[in-house]
Structure 1
Amino acid sequence: MQTTSYKDVFEKIRVNFLFNHPFLSVLALSIETSYDENKNSAFLTNGFKITIDTNKLEKYSKEEITYLYAHTLLHIVLKHPYRQKTRDSYIWNKACDIVINNILSTFTNIGSRPADEIFDLTLKDKCVEEVYEILYKKKKEEIGKTNPNKDGALDSNEYDKSKLDLDEVYVKNEKIDQEKLDGIIIQALSIAKKASNLYEGMSIEIDTLIKPEINLSDELKEYLISSFFEKQLSYERPNKRFISNGIYMPGTKKLNDNLNIYIALDSSSSVTLDEYKKFLGIIGEIADSFYEYNVEILPFDLKVRSEYIIKFDSFNPLSSDELLIPKSNGGTSFDECLRYLKKSSEVRNDSLLIVLSDGEFELTESLLCNTLFIISNKKNLRKFEKDGRVIQFNI
């Protein structure tokens, strides 16, 4: 099929997007597209334009070409080339393709996924950075276990390199063009966001884009300082300004310098020991800002693992040698953790409960004090917003 006839094919595809996926239509009608030879894949994008290799399209049907076009447009709208940064390009391409193909599996009227497209539903509901970390760790483990062949090669053929469709991002693009592209992407994202019932699978990637990445250490410091150092309204010390008029209004009092924290550690989640130690290091650093503090760590899965509870305070600092994540018995019940606290601890109103988990649990018990949910799985971030502060586990 000649380039000219392929142009007709793409015109029909764009009409399909206009009626069925208007957010893709915005991109398809606005992004620069050219026909040229690509080194690897039929479609190639640097996040700024698309290059289509018509010779490589010969093996695909029109339905599969529709799918691949939508696939490439999603790379652009989700800024995958720009988000790569210094990451390994092969693993990043693979991660991006997995995320996009999982998203497209929920779409209708989007063509047919080619048989050579990588697809892994076990990684559904994860942003591309999360998928990349999983694949990267797996690759390191494989390299550690594999003996190089005579050529020194270690790669397997599980992901065909001819599918690499993300090109290098060129910083020489004019600023005005970058701003124009950002405007197009924002418009497309807005349309997709409004149709969240249709594009729920995209919500995690969209949120990753539009919400700035926040360092856990900074977030925890801000939260604890605002929670424990700021003054609180109290009738224990009425506002003197109004007493002369016979009006009793609450005055302010400074919170105690005693910091009381409970940390519920979900031992069934994917938090690693190194991440756990870094997290407690942050807690210890902040706790040292207080005259006196008490911290109690409660590992739990389907019950609180009382034999692994660790306590430390301002007079008995935490030793990293004590730290471990106990082997889980499977399942997660945060309600059991709350029941344990109600029975065995005197939780003060000004205490803080921090939950370190992937969020794969339901909450039915009432909370006892201010609760901060630190969640590693992005799909669960919105789940507990009505119950307390929720932040992404990102050390």
Structure 2
Amino acid sequence: MDRDTTVLGAMSSTGAVHPRIARQRTELVLSQPFFGALALRLNVREDPTAKTFWVDGETLGYCPGYLDSLSDLELRGVIAHEVLHVANGHCWRQGAGDPKRWNDACDYAINPIVLSSGMVLPKGLLVDPRYTGKSAEEIYGLLTQDEKQKQNQPQPQPQAPEPQPQAPPLQQESSSGPPSQSNQKPGGSKRPQPGQQPEQPADNNPGSFGEVRPYKGSDKPVKEAEWKVAVTQAAKAAAMRGKLPGDLQAMAGEAVRPVVDWRAVLHRFAQQSSPTDYSFAMPNRRYLHLGFYLPALHTPAMGDAVFVRDSSGSVFDETQAQFDAEILTVFHSLKPARLIVMDCDTRVTQVQIFERGDSPEIMPVRGGGGTAFADPFNRVAQDGMNPAFLVYLTDMVGKFPAVGPHYAVLWASTTPLARARKAPFGETVEVMC
């Protein structure tokens, strides 16, 4: 029995692990223990229907033909690449997003980490300095914006072909004419010669050598928690051996950071900011028949609920749409005196005001340009608004007011809190859509 079989005698659901995968997992255990320890957690399954590799949080699937096309070093890098998808939680967080765009975003997020660890990846991999250090969600938003900008660009109108001169009616085309003419299609492309493969269209996604699939099991929270523990343990073990590069250490810390549902924080913040107290003006009726005159919980009329949307273009459309939905939920559940929605880049560009009992339809964001946060607070004071609270959706990149207001403020940051600028006042929550 060779070393690979001794170290990695794991069996997949369909049989023994492919010997090349077993060998490269062994090499990862010995040379890159962080990747190696996590790779052993995945079942390995041959999947002839796959194009390349895939991972879903439990299984590592592979196309045998694609595996044969990889060198040993490339195969090792691809295994590490797939491991990082799970370690980063990409299998749990896809949601309802576009699968291909999510896969690309995840690749952009982890490929630099694999390369910085000294490994080799197949040619054409997805790497872009603009995305280095960003989360998959941030990159997904950027890719979505890029796609929408492309769709909004005016398409060039096809030009009518110039009329070709007609040959004399009785003139015949010579069979000994130049090949460049006899092998032309009407559209101008060459006909394939005998034994020559026709030209194939360019691959729209040449850098995709693996697929992220969402985990389908009913025990998703348990599986996700188990992987967070495994990532922490693998990082500690690799660090003790001096084989945990800085990029991996930062990634491991970010991957196991608790994720807080920003929607729950928003609703909790709004409820806590609404005035509620016990009052003898409205006695508790439950105890009157017993002769007890006790105070009842009294909720006086709530002030204005003010929401500000960063309209500088740095907050993505999908995030704006989800934020708008939560604005309406807060309005219908808390019933503030008024709902006020402002858009602001460096100045307030749009104000929408809805009274209690209205059925608001929030208009699209209006603005574009730089970012400064002071004008909405100035507008609140100038227009005599009475906010119970103010929630500001932004990437936190801009000039903050020097002094905070008397009402509660929640900054909804689209930038991860580890990298976001700290607001001088108020509470901050990270928005992940």
TM-score > 0.5 by shorter chain: yes
Assess if the C-alpha contact under 8 Å between 1:354 and 1:374 holds in 2. Answer: yes
Alignment correspondent of 1:120: 128
3-state DSSP of counterpart to 1:93: helix
Shift of 1:182: 5.2
Does structure 1 conserve the Cα–Cα contact (< 8 Å) formed by 2:348 and 2:376?
yes
Which residue number corresponds to residue 370 of structure 2?
A: 331
Structure 2, unaligned runs of 5 or more = 1-17, 158-200, 279-295
Query: Are positions 1:40 and 2:51 aligned together?
Result: yes
Matching residue of 1:270: 315
Q: Which residue is 2:60 aligned to?
A: 50
Q: Deviations over 1:320-370 (max 9, x none)?
A: 48x453232x111114544x358736677x742221223223536221131
Tell me which residue corresponds to 1:282: 329
* Cα separation, 2, equivalents of 1:61 and 1:92: 27
What TM-score comes out, normalization by structure 2 length? 0.61
Find the aligned partners of 2:156 and 2:60 in 1 and give their Cα distance.
Answer: 37
Specify the alignment match of 1:28 in structure 2. Answer: 39
Shift of residue 142 of structure 1? Answer: 7.0
* Alpha-carbon distance in structure 2 between the residues aligned to 1:6 and 1:224: 52
Residues 92-140 of structure 1 show CA distances to partners (whole Å, capped at 9, x for unaligned) of: 43333223225446x4x33134322112343455543554466567668
CA distance in 1, matches of 2:222, 2:232: 15
Q: Which runs of 5+ in 1 are unaligned?
A: 148-154, 233-251
Amino acid at match of 1:119: V
Alignment of 1:150-299 (within 5 A): 157-160=203-206, 163-166=209-212, 171=217, 183-189=226-232, 192=235, 198=247, 199-201=249-251, 206-207=256-257, 210-211=258-259, 213=261, 216=263, 219-231=265-277, 256-268=300-312, 269-272=314-317, 274-275=321-322, 277-288=324-335, 290=336, 293-299=337-343
1:372 aligned counterpart, secondary structure: strand
Deviation at residue 225 of structure 1 after TM alignment: 1.9
Q: What count of residue pairs does the alignment treat as equivalent?
A: 346
Name the CA shift for 1:46/1:318 in 2 (closer, same or farther; >3 Å). closer
Per-residue deviation at 1:280? 4.2
Conserved? CA contact 1:221–1:286, under 8 Å: no
**Equivalent in 80, 90, 107 of residue 97 of structure 1:** 107
Which of 9, 17, 20 is the matching residue for 2:32? 17
One-letter code aligned to 1:361: G
Gap change, CA 1:389 and 1:190, over 3 Å in 2: farther
Three-state SS of the structure 2 residue aligned to 1:361 is coil
Aligned mates of 1:36, 1:282 — CA distance in 2: 45
Is residue 67 from structure 1 mapped to residue 114 from structure 2 by the alignment?
no
Contact 1:70-1:110 within 8 A present in 2 as well: no
Report the AA paired with residue 187 of structure 1. A
Query: 1:256, CA displacement in angstroms?
Result: 4.7
Q: Is the alpha carbon distance of 1:318 and 1:63 closer, same or farther for their aligned partners in structure 2, counting shifts above 3 Å? A: same
Q: Report the alpha carbon displacement of residue 170 of structure 1 after superposing the two structures with TM.
A: 6.3
Query: Taking structure 1 as reference, are residues 129 and 14 closer, same or farther at Cα in structure 2, changes over 3 Å only?
Result: same
Distance 1:295 1:167 in 2: 40
User: What amino acid sits opposite 1:344 in the alignment?
Assistant: Q
Q: Distance in 2 between matches of 1:265 and 1:92?
A: 25
Q: Tell me the amino acid that sits aligned with residue 270 of structure 1.
A: V
Secondary structure at the aligned position of 2:303 is classed as strand
Question: 2:311–2:344: 8 Å Cα contact kept in structure 1?
Answer: yes
Q: What SS does the corresponding residue of 2:35 show, helix, strand or coil?
A: helix
Percent identity over the alignment is: 16
Distance 2:30 2:39 in 1: 10
| Aligned position for 1:152 | none
Task: Please state whether the residue corresponding to 1:163 is helix, strand or coil.
Answer: coil
1:355 corresponds to which residue? Answer: 392
TM-score, normalised to structure 1, is: 0.66
If you compute each CA radius of gyration, which structure gives the higher value, 1 or 2?
2
CA distance in 2, matches of 1:325, 1:88: 23
Structure 2 contact 142–316 (Cα < 8 Å) conserved: no
Tell me how large the CA RMSD over aligned residues is. Answer: 4.8
Give me the whole-angstrom Cα distance separating, in 2, the residues matched to 1:52 and 1:159: 18
3-state SS of paired residue (1:229) = coil
Confirm or deny: 8 A CA contact 1:303 1:336 kept in the other structure.
yes
Amino acid at match of 1:389: E
